[in-house]
């Protein structure tokens, strides 16, 4: 299956967005996607996700004969597979140009920089050494696979532990993990790959480009940097040249990014070791996303309009273009103004007009209108929120009943009541008796 072509509308949209210092997913030009690292049950099994780009790395070892040029050093082999699972246009069982290029960049950054202590992998000089194999499978290709694959490979090497070995004369005995504790691999440093996409004829660079941005970009720069700020590898490919100032600026930013990633890798490995000591179940179950229709659906796949900076000359754009996250002080001032307005509204006198409306039994009552005509509804059962007009009407009814009872007592001499109801009371006078 051939790779889908990028339309002119998509290309122009991405280019104009980058020129306005915005991106399709709402990130800034120097912002990276979220990084997640999960470990499997076996040593050296790592799943890394950078945004929606997912990579699975597995480290294995075997005893082999060393090379004649380096008889006292072990070997390291890195294999990257880009199949139809990563993207439909990749073919299975056949290496594409992208997979070959990715493999070479990782070998130069990790293998040629002396990341792994190969001398510690020697068992018997000129006879037997350990061969480490790092298999990297790209599960989903959503841009910047190089960074994700390098993080997965380094994390898997740092997490892997080889079995212990003992020598009995010329015989080499490999012990299982039940007999002896496995031994970790010696890592000298962590060369992290940091990629940037080049736009606007080599004048702009964006960090962590997505798949669409990679295809629209004019060139791509990949730095291999460790936590000490040392440059372990450099790759520049594309159809345009860039300036030395841009290279220096991106290199400084890449060193900061590599430092934070290395620290995160160490923290994650330490947390995994503590979980294994406490016998907490470990696996890739944390990578599974539940309650979603699509497994690779993004949480917020939309353009965050609040990050867009509108032109000041546009009508009505001066207040709406402000970023809420970058201006917390303005939010506090607005909240203070709102609270002051609400307090003023509460202190305003009520209108004298009686606008109480009885809706129905066990329902709600409409309160009298204030200066600001806002309807407020309260339940009739709550005694504290009763309307003052209802209290006045109840008092009037009680006063009327008292007056009637006093007049009746003064007028009547003898009273005969036919029933308990007040409306059915009959008054008998002396004239009625004489009749």
Q: Check if the beta carbon of residue 72 is closer than 8 Å to that of residue 119.
A: yes
Q: Is the pLDDT of residue 389 over 90?
A: no
Residue 338 and residue 280 share a domain = no
> Could you tell me if 411 and 299 lie in one domain?
no
**Domain shared by 234 and 322, yes or no:** no
Mean pLDDT of 205-218: 92
Query: Do 146 and 184 belong to one domain?
Result: yes
pLDDT digits (tens, 9 = 90+) for 348-384: 444 444 444 444 444 444 455 555 544 455 454 444 4
Give the pair of three-digit tokens for residue 82: 């880009």
- The answer to the question of residue 381 being in a domain is no
**Does residue 99 share a domain with residue 160?**
yes
Question: Given pLDDT bands bounded at 50, 70 and 90, which one contains residue 84?
Answer: confident
Q: Within this chain, do residues 325 and 413 fall inside the same structural domain, yes or no?
A: no
pLDDT of residue 301: 45
83-88-93 Cα angle (round to 5): 30
Is residue 103 one of the residues assigned to a domain? yes
Quickly tell me which residue has 């008092």 as its tokens.
Answer: 395
Mean pLDDT of 151-156: 95
Whether the model clears a pTM of 0.85, i.e. scores above it, the answer is no
Q: Based on the fold, state whether residues 278 and 323 are members of the same structural domain.
A: no
CA 335 to chain CA centroid, Å, is 27
- Whether residue 244 sits in one domain with residue 102: yes
> How much is the pLDDT for 430?
61
Where in the sequence is the domain holding 426, given as residue range(s)?
Answer: 388-434
Query: Domains in the chain: how many in total?
Result: 3
Q: Which two tokens stand for residue 68?
A: 């004649």
- 328 in the same domain as 210: no
C-alpha 344/C-alpha 106 separation (Å) is 66
Domain match, 21 and 119 both: yes
């Amino acid at each position: 299956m051939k790779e889908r072509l990028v339309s002119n509308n998509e290309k122009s949209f991405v280019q104009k967005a980058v020129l306005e210092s915005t991106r399709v997913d709402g990130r800034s030009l120097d912002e990276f996607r979220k990084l997640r690292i999960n470990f499997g049950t076996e040593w050296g099994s790592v799943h890394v996700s950078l945004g929606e780009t997912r990579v699975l790395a597995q480290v294995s070892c075997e005893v082999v004969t060393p090379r004649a040029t380096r008889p006292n050093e072990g070997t390291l082999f890195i294999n990257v597979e880009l199949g139809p699972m990563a993207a439909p246009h990749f073919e299975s069982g056949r290496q594409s140009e992208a997979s070959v290029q990715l493999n070479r960049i990782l070998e130069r950054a990790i293998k040629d920089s002396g990341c792994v202590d190969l001398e510690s992998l020697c068992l018997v000089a000129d006879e037997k050494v350990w061969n480490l194999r790092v298999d990297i499978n790209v599960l989903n290709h959503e841009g910047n696979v190089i960074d994700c694959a390098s993080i997965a490979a380094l994390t898997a090497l740092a997490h892997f532990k080889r079995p212990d070995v003992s020598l009995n004369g010329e015989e080499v005995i490999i012990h299982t993990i039940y007999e002896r504790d496995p031994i970790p691999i010696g890592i000298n440093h962590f060369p992290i790959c940091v990629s940037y996409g080049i736009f606007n004829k080599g004048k702009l660079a964006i960090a962590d480009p997505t798949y669409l941005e990679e295809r629209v970009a004019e060139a791509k720069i990949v730095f291999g940097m460790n936590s000490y700020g040392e440059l372990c590898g450099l790759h520049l490919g594309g159809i345009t040249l860039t300036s030395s100032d841009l290279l220096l600026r991106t290199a400084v930013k890449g060193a900061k990014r590599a430092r934070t990633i290395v620290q995160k890798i160490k923290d994650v490995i330490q947390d995994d070791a503590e979980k294994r000591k406490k016998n907490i179940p470990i696996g890739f179950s944390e990578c599974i996303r539940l309650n979603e229709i699509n497994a690779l659906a993004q949480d917020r796949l939309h353009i965050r309009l609040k990050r867009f900076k509108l032109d000041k000359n546009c009508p009505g754009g001066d207040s709406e273009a402000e970023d809420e996250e970058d201006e917390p002080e303005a939010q506090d001032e607005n909240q203070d103004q709102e609270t002051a307005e609400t307090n003023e509204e509460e202190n305003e006198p009520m209108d004298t007009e009686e606008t109480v409306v009885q809706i129905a039994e066990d329902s709600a009552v409409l309160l009298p209108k204030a200066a600001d005509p806002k309807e407020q509804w309260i339940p009739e059962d709550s005694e504290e929120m009763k309307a003052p007009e209802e209290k006045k009407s109840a008092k009037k009814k009680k006063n009327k009943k008292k007056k009637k009872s006093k007049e009746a007592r003064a007028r009547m001499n003898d009273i005969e009541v036919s029933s308990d109801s007040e409306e059915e009371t009959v008054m008998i006078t002396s004239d009625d008796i004489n009749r």
